[in-house]
Structure 1
Amino acid sequence: MTESYIDPSRANFEAFKNLPRDEPIHMLNLLLYREEAEYPAGHEHAAKGWSGRRAYEEYGKTSGPIFRRVGGSIVWRGAFQTVVTGPDAMRWHDGFVAQYPDSGAFFEMIKDPDYQLAVVNRTAALADSRLVRFSPGATGSEFG
């Protein structure tokens, strides 16, 4: 099995924290769900037999109010179809771009005690993921 990424490494999180904190950010999220969610023993959802997708839906439901409270919004969402340029084995189930007014809003969200309870659903749901920060740029019909 190839290496999977659910949570940031210490080095990656430090790099994120060292970027400017006072400008809007876009976070590209790529998601690969487990066939069956893997909750810690004794968790209220552990014996429900949820799929990874269902556990991620629970994450969205429970973290959504916090995400919105800090000013977050989804600016793009899509379902994976195929890789055009990249490794043949690369696959994702879903992807989306979350927008935050600044990285301070992201930090506020992940430090919220209710978010910390909600994130267990994300961890249980995902076999692999990517979370990539971008600075928003102009949109339109030009590539450059």
Structure 2
Amino acid sequence: MSATYIDPSPANFQAFKDLPRDEPIHMLNLLQYRDEADYPDGHEHHGKGWSGRRAYEEYGKTSGPIFRRVGGSIVWRGAFQTVVTGPEAMQWHDGFVAQYPNAGAFFEMIKDPDYQKAVVNRTAALADSRLVRFAPGDAGEGF
């Protein structure tokens, strides 16, 4: 089985922290949900039989106000269909690009105590994910 990624490694997170914090960023999110959410014992949603997708919806509901408060917005969202170039095993359920006014806003969000409670839903929901930072560029007709 190939490696899965839910949270950043210390080295990857340090690389993110070392980049400029005062310029806009786009964060590509690729999501693969668990069949059944995996909440820790004692969590309010443990044992409810939620799907991973349902748990991610809860993450969106509980983290959304914080995401919007720091200036975040979704600039693109899509549902996976097929891999054209890449490994056939690379299967995602959903993808989206979140835009933040700057990396400082992202840090403000993840440090928020309410966000830290909400992120448990994300962890319970996902079998695998990717989170990739990009500097926004110009959109248009050319490559």
Indicate whether the TM-score tops 0.5. Answer: yes
Alignment of 1:2-81 (within 5 A): 2-81=2-81
Paired residue secondary structure (1:97): strand
State the percentage of identical aligned residues.
Answer: 85
Q: Residues of 2 paired with 1:5 and 1:118: CA distance?
A: 18
Paired residue secondary structure (1:99): strand
Q: Residues of 1 paired with 2:114 and 2:42: CA distance?
A: 19
Q: Residues of 2 paired with 1:54 and 1:131: CA distance?
A: 20
Alignment root-mean-square deviation, CA: 0.3
Deviation of the 1:90 alpha carbon: 0.7
What corresponds to 2:85 in structure 1? 85
Deviation of the 1:88 alpha carbon: 1.1
Deviation of the 1:89 alpha carbon: 1.0
The runs of 5 or more residues in structure 1 that have no matched partner are none
Deviation of the 1:2 alpha carbon: 1.3
Paired residue secondary structure (1:82): coil
Paired residue secondary structure (2:17): helix
1:73-120: CA deviation from partner (whole Å, max 9, x where unpaired): 000000000000000111000000000000000000000000000000
What corresponds to 1:134 in structure 2? 134
Deviation of the 1:47 alpha carbon: 1.2
Q: Which runs of 4+ in 1 moved over 3 A?
A: none
Q: Residues of 1 paired with 2:5 and 2:88: CA distance?
A: 19
Paired residue secondary structure (1:78): strand
The runs of 5 or more residues in structure 2 that have no matched partner are none
What corresponds to 2:122 in structure 1? 122
Q: Residues of 2 paired with 1:63 and 1:81: CA distance?
A: 27
Query: TM-score normalized by structure 2?
Result: 0.99
Q: Residues of 1 paired with 2:70 and 2:133: CA distance?
A: 17
Query: TM-score normalized by structure 1?
Result: 0.99
